[in-house]
A and B are shown apart, each in its own frame.
Chain A
Amino acid sequence: MQAQNTQRIRALIARGKLKDTLFAALGVICLGIGLLVIFALVADMAMKGFERLNLDFFTNFASRRATQAGILSAWVGSLLVMLVTALTAVPLGVAAGLYLEEYAKRNWITEIIEINITNLAAVPSIVYGLLALGIFVYTFGFGQSILSAGLTLALLILPIVIVATREAIRAIPAMIREGSMAVGATRWQTCRYHIVPYAMPGILTGVIIGLARAIGETAPIITIGALTFIAFLPPVPFSALPDGGTAGLFDWVMSPFTVMPIQIFNWTSRPDPAFEVNAAAAGFVLMAMVLTMNAVAIWLRYKLRKNIKW
């Protein structure tokens, strides 16, 4: 009787352990699918696009002939749009984060701003495109320009920058502020010389993640009307223009443009399979950019967690 019971209990335990193992295996498989997708994506695009990944590809404009088409206008456009986005989103986001953490009183205005930031993060990106189409393109008259695109993406990633800034600031202990104030610094001086520099790595992580997201965004930029076929670059400051004039320092912000994701979209939507190769090559370049940025952000955060001891 006793032996029988022991056996039954052993069997029960074994069954429980088996189920545990099976579930753990299921978990590993699910994780593996994610890993496999990243791997398959990168490998497929690298293999298909390999033949096109040479210097010409980076220095040629888009073309009707697949083998001559390049991504010059796309990567230059992406870079310039990112410049406008970063120059707008970083100061605005850091200032907003500083205000909410260091200045804001607990009242209904602050509450509205906070709820609003949370909700904005859940608004589909294409809705930002519609906002930009109505406000930047038509109401402000910026047209379908780099400026409109940069500002749109800046608004889109603003919640990411604000949240990262706030988290970085919250990790700074109160004694830093008290020390600064105790020697007579004003609140702004405390922020300017202590809070912001110490929060910088955390802010930077958020900014990089935000920009990595922005560089891959397609929908809002299509909505404001970026062109899909473009064979010229925005005017370089102080260069000669075709109409005989000279480009000003900021003429490029009003220029029409295209960006990497739109170039890929254009190529994937063509029936001619020759453009598939181009799409793969351009996709590989875009993936490389985004993954590098994300890796830098992850590394930065990892390093940050290890090194800081207040």
Chain B
Amino acid sequence: MNSYAMSATPVPDTPTVSARLARNAMRHASERVIEALLFAAAAVSVLTTLGIVYVLVSESVLFFQKVGIVDFLTDTQWTPLFDDAHFGIMVLVSGTVVSSAVALAVAIPMGTVIAIYLSEFAGPRVRELAKPILELLGGIPTIVFGYFALLIVTPLLQKIFPELPGFSLLSAGLVMGVMIVPYVASLSEDAMRAVPMSLREGSYAMGATRLHTALHVVVPAAFSGLAASYILGVSRAVGETMILAVAAGMQPNLTWNPMEPAATITSYIVQVALGDLPHGSIGYQTIFAAGLTLLLITLLFNILGQWLRRKFRENY
């Protein structure tokens, strides 16, 4: 079929130069609008950060008008909702530190061994299979890990330590460690695979075994990457919430003993949020003060991680 016959309008004339310029200008203008919109989307991340800082700081300021910062840092009790209110953040920090320490005692050795194995020992097939499995482990919802810690790991541990209570930092920490293993293993493996082959070949040529090469050549060469992955593990452990809320007992308790129940910064926030506190009350403000403390701790570790990475960056 002939399309010329179909159309009633004649073929349009070539547009004049001014019309073309006008169209170009239009195109240019709409391009600018689109670019501005895309920029706005990218800026949302900055707004999020500003929002976090604004919310935490503004509510914390109200909190610190009522509670002295010295009390906050030195009091040994955390009973913000009692008549005799005490606001000693160290209580929550101790729970956070102990549970994180338990978690890291699992995650760092296990993650490092898996990373060394995958990068230096395993064949490509094992590696291709193992990485997705590790990713699945890292993708399990933390509430499910909490269930696992409370209803499976705690009863198992009680068979070994009969005096272990139903809620403890130990079982929550152990499960948290397993949760963090994939993050440590995956990042460490990336770091070790980035070590150039020539270093390994040199070591093998000297007659070193695989293990010797891995421990004395590859690990030191990848040290900055390994350190960064450990720091990420610390961040995860400190910020983890649900495993602790379910399995560690949510009882504010100044303790350094993992066999006891305790509350962490995160599990306290969850506990209070469940109670539906009135907006503007001191209880409401405590969760922001606790949140600010948590953010400062994670920020500290992030800065430490970046510093380590820069300081120990190897030049091959």
CB neighbours (8 Å) of B232 from chain A are 122
Asked whether A127 lies within 8 Å of B52 as measured between CB atoms, the reply is yes
Assembly CA distance A187 to B38 (angstroms): 12
Asked whether A217 lies within 8 Å of B273 as measured between CB atoms, the reply is no
Q: How many residues of A contact B (CB 8 A)?
A: 86
Majority SS at the chain B contact face: helix
A56 at the interface (CB under 8 A from B): no
Tell me the minimal C-beta distance from B189 to chain A in angstroms: 11
**Residue A131 contacts which of B48, B130, B181 (CB distance < 8 angstroms)?**
B48
List A residues 193-239 near B (Cβ within 8 Å).
209, 212-213, 215-219, 222-225, 228
A1 at the interface (CB under 8 A from B): no
Tell me the minimal C-beta distance from B4 to chain A in angstroms: 25
Closest residue of chain B to A136 (Cβ to Cβ) is B51
A250 at the interface (CB under 8 A from B): no
Chain B interface residue number, banded: 35 or more
Asked whether B144 lies within 8 Å of A33 as measured between CB atoms, the reply is no
A-B contact number at CB 8 A: 256
Q: Give per-residue flags for A110-140: 1 if the beta carbon is below 8 A from chain B beta carbons, else 0.
A: 0011001101101111111111011100100
Asked whether B51 lies within 8 Å of A116 as measured between CB atoms, the reply is no
Asked whether B45 lies within 8 Å of A126 as measured between CB atoms, the reply is no
CB neighbours (8 Å) of A19 from chain B are 209, 211
Asked whether A34 lies within 8 Å of B141 as measured between CB atoms, the reply is no
B93 at the interface (CB under 8 A from A): no
Asked whether B42 lies within 8 Å of A95 as measured between CB atoms, the reply is yes
A91 at the interface (CB under 8 A from B): yes
CB neighbours (8 Å) of A224 from chain B are 273
Asked whether A268 lies within 8 Å of B121 as measured between CB atoms, the reply is no
**Residue B110 contacts which of A33, A100, A125, A291 (CB distance < 8 angstroms)?**
A33
A30 at the interface (CB under 8 A from B): yes
CB neighbours (8 Å) of B130 from chain A are 31
CB neighbours (8 Å) of A16 from chain B are 209, 211-212
B143 at the interface (CB under 8 A from A): yes
Given contacts A122-B235, A138-B279, A268-B146, contact A217 B45 (CB under 8 A): no
**Which stretch from A58-66, A154-162, A172-180, A240-248 is at the chain B interface?**
A154-162
**Residue A294 contacts which of B135, B147, B240, B298 (CB distance < 8 angstroms)?**
B135
**Residue A130 contacts which of B49, B136, B269 (CB distance < 8 angstroms)?**
B269
**Residue A123 contacts which of B139, B147, B274, B295 (CB distance < 8 angstroms)?**
B295
Given contacts A27-B113, A96-B45, contact A225 B295 (CB under 8 A): no
Asked whether B48 lies within 8 Å of A34 as measured between CB atoms, the reply is no
Given contacts A99-B38, A126-B270, contact A290 B52 (CB under 8 A): no
Q: What are 19 A-B pairs with beta-carbon distances under 8 A?
A: A31-B134, A33-B110, A34-B137, A92-B44, A99-B42, A120-B49, A122-B302, A126-B239, A126-B294, A127-B239, A187-B31, A216-B139, A216-B142, A219-B245, A223-B269, A264-B143, A264-B144, A269-B246, A286-B141
